[in-house]
Amino acid sequence: MDGKKIVNLLQYAENYTEYYSKLFSNNGINTRDINDFTKIPFLSKADIQMNEKEIISDEYDINSLLLERTSGSSGIPLNCRYDKNERIRRSLALWGERKKNSSDIMGKKMVIFHAGNRRHANSTRNGLIARDGNTLYINYLNVGDTYVEKIYDALIEFGPYMIRCQPSILFELVTYCKRNNKSTGDIQAQYIELGSEYLFEYIRDEIIEAFPGAVVANNYGTQEFFCVAYSCPNHNLHIVSEQLHVETVNEDEEGYGEIIITSLHNYAMPFIRYKIGDIGKIETKPCSCGRKEPVLQLKSGRTSEFFMYGSNKVHAHIFKNCIESFNVLKQKTFIKQFQVIQLKEHHFEFKIVSDYTSFQEELRTHIKSFFLEKLGIELEIIVSLQEQLAIDEKSNKLKVYNFIQYDKV
Ligand SMILES: [Zn+2]
């Protein structure tokens, strides 16, 4: 553990943020004593939502910070902020990891699969496929066959060195190619970076087989922190310890516990002992790749879900985008939590937790026009306000997306 960095962060947070100043004083935390670090209560998504402004340092103007919106698999929209220097630091850390696996990767042709909603949203992120210099942007929201065909053709024409994609989306491409006797090898990618969701071994193996000769790397990243851990040639996820302190708590007998992350450099909005919601195990035994950083074994994490609509196969991400766009419109975290239930193919219920009332009709209209604009599909929508959302008894978690399951053809 990088004690000095942590103590510096704790002292800063105590002096410059209302939230941590109160938290530390209420819990008797001595920020000069590194041993008190593990006494600090965890930071939950709900804590961030409720104390967004209080977590931001007095030294920063909220409007000058970069904003990352996330709601991941929790259905809880969050605004995470950091300054330009942190953005550069995060980006350098990620490129540093890539370079360890492929020393000449910088400046090569790259394909980025995206959901069309990112902070950097610009004209290149509109439409299905757009090229900006050496980068090709591909929207992955719809992976119905007609779309995947276009994506495949664009990849062949572009000839990328690197592809950055979610495992489930690339898996869709690979199975599409198998079904249609097309060769993924013809895409000639040299570096595949998977990320944004849990990587199942069978999917990784399919992708390795589909792209012989390519480095297949896994980036365990989150919108809150960017890259948390990155895989080496042994497929071990090494923690990016320079940037983050990662610990696990409440471990089971095998050593798997809840992953808790502290960002070491983001002083603008310190996340100290943040409960990310994933389960993992930290191993410190040496890896033959030569990296010294501990290895994170993930047990679970975010998975991808799709819903079917006609011949469309649509990524659940679109719901998160839609809800976030409504919060942006209202300039507040109007929707604190959401859950989606598919009642019929084109009929969805949105269960919403909010501090506000009487906006159901406005939200309903917003959702309908969002889907019409993004996918050209007309949905029937019910919006219902809830005091709280029911937890799934089996997983003990909120099941955000509840889609009709069709038999696989
Ligand atoms: Zn390694």
Tell me: the pLDDT tens digits for 84-133?
Answer: 999 999 999 999 999 999 999 999 999 999 987 654 445 566 778 999 99
Ligand 1 centroid to residue 293 C-alpha, Å: 8
Is residue 407 assigned to a domain?
no
Q: Which of 248, 277, 300 is the last residue of a domain?
A: 300
Residue 301: pLDDT over 80: no
Residue 190 is inside which H or E element, if any? none
pLDDT in tens, 355-365: 999 999 999 99
Ligand 1 centroid to residue 18 C-alpha, Å: 40
Give the predicted TM-score (pTM) of the model.
0.89
Ligand 1 centroid to residue 234 C-alpha, Å: 6
Residue 332: pLDDT over 90: no
pLDDT in tens, 121-169: 455 667 789 999 999 999 999 999 999 999 999 999 999 999 999 999 9
pLDDT in tens, 4-18: 999 999 999 999 999
User: Residue 336: CA atoms inside 13 Å, Cβ hemisphere, count?
Assistant: 18
Is residue 290 assigned to a domain?
yes
Do 243 and 117 lie in a common domain? yes
Ligand 1 centroid to residue 288 C-alpha, Å: 6
Mean pLDDT of 255-282: 96
Please, what is the average pLDDT of the chain? Answer: 92
Is residue 60 assigned to a domain?
no
Return the sign of the alpha-carbon dihedral for residues 108, 109, 110, 116.
Answer: positive
Do 362 and 269 lie in a common domain? no
Is residue 136 assigned to a domain?
yes
Ligand 1 centroid to residue 79 C-alpha, Å: 33
Which tokens is 1 given? 């553990």
Is residue 20 packed enough to be buried (19+ CB in 10 Å), middle (13-18) or exposed (0-12)? buried
pLDDT in tens, 188-243: 999 999 998 899 999 999 999 999 999 999 999 988 999 999 999 999 999 999 99
Do 338 and 384 lie in a common domain? yes
Do 269 and 317 lie in a common domain? no
Is residue 31 packed enough to be buried (19+ CB in 10 Å), middle (13-18) or exposed (0-12)? buried
| More reliable by pLDDT, 51 or 311 | 51
Q: Which amino acid is at 329?
A: L
Which residues are in the CB-under-5-Å shell of ion ligand 1? 232, 234, 236, 287, 289, 291
How many distinct structural domains can be found in the chain?
2
- Output the CA–CA distances (angstroms, integers) from residue 320 to 115, 324, 366, 370, 387, in the order listed: 10, 6, 13, 11, 20
Residue 310: pLDDT over 80: yes
Ligand 1 centroid to residue 366 C-alpha, Å: 47
Do 274 and 168 lie in a common domain? yes
Distance CA 328, CA 370 (A): 13
Do 249 and 372 lie in a common domain? no
Is residue 324 assigned to a domain?
yes
Residue pointed to by tokens 């507040």: 332
The C-alpha angle with vertex 152 and arms to 149 and 153, in degrees rounded to 5, equals 90
Do 269 and 230 lie in a common domain? yes
Which tokens is 268 given? 């603008």
Do 264 and 117 lie in a common domain? yes
Do 212 and 320 lie in a common domain? no
pLDDT at residue number 53: 95
φ, ψ at 309 (rounded to 5°): -145, 110
For residues 285 and 226, the answer to whether their CB atoms sit within 8 Å is: no
pLDDT at residue number 119: 47
Ligand 1 centroid to residue 134 C-alpha, Å: 30
Do 349 and 203 lie in a common domain? no
Ligand 1 centroid to residue 345 C-alpha, Å: 45
Ligand 1 centroid to residue 238 C-alpha, Å: 6
Do 377 and 281 lie in a common domain? no
Report the candidate in 274, 277, 315 with the shortest Cα–Cα distance to residue 298: 277
* CATH number of the domain residue 349 falls in: 3.30.300.30
Is residue 224 assigned to a domain?
yes
Ligand 1 centroid to residue 157 C-alpha, Å: 34
Ligand 1 centroid to residue 232 C-alpha, Å: 5
Ligand 1 centroid to residue 225 C-alpha, Å: 21
pLDDT at residue number 118: 54
Do 136 and 248 lie in a common domain? yes
- What are the residue ranges of helices labelled H in 230-340? 317-330
Distance CA 209, CA 329 (A): 44
| More reliable by pLDDT, 33 or 303 | 33
Ligand 1 centroid to residue 236 C-alpha, Å: 5
Ligand 1 centroid to residue 219 C-alpha, Å: 13
Mean pLDDT of 298-310: 84
Is residue 393 packed enough to be buried (19+ CB in 10 Å), middle (13-18) or exposed (0-12)? exposed
Is residue 35 assigned to a domain?
no
Ligand 1 centroid to residue 197 C-alpha, Å: 20
Is residue 95 assigned to a domain?
yes
pLDDT in tens, 372-400: 998 889 999 999 999 999 888 877 778 89
Percentage of the chain lying above the pLDDT 70 cut: 96
Q: Which of 266, 300, 334 is the last residue of a domain?
A: 300
**Residue-number span of the structural domain to which 105 is assigned:** 85-300
* CATH number of the domain residue 169 falls in: 3.40.50.12780
Ligand 1 centroid to residue 292 C-alpha, Å: 8
Ligand 1 centroid to residue 63 C-alpha, Å: 40
Mean pLDDT of 289-309: 89
Q: Which of 300, 332, 361 is the last residue of a domain?
A: 300
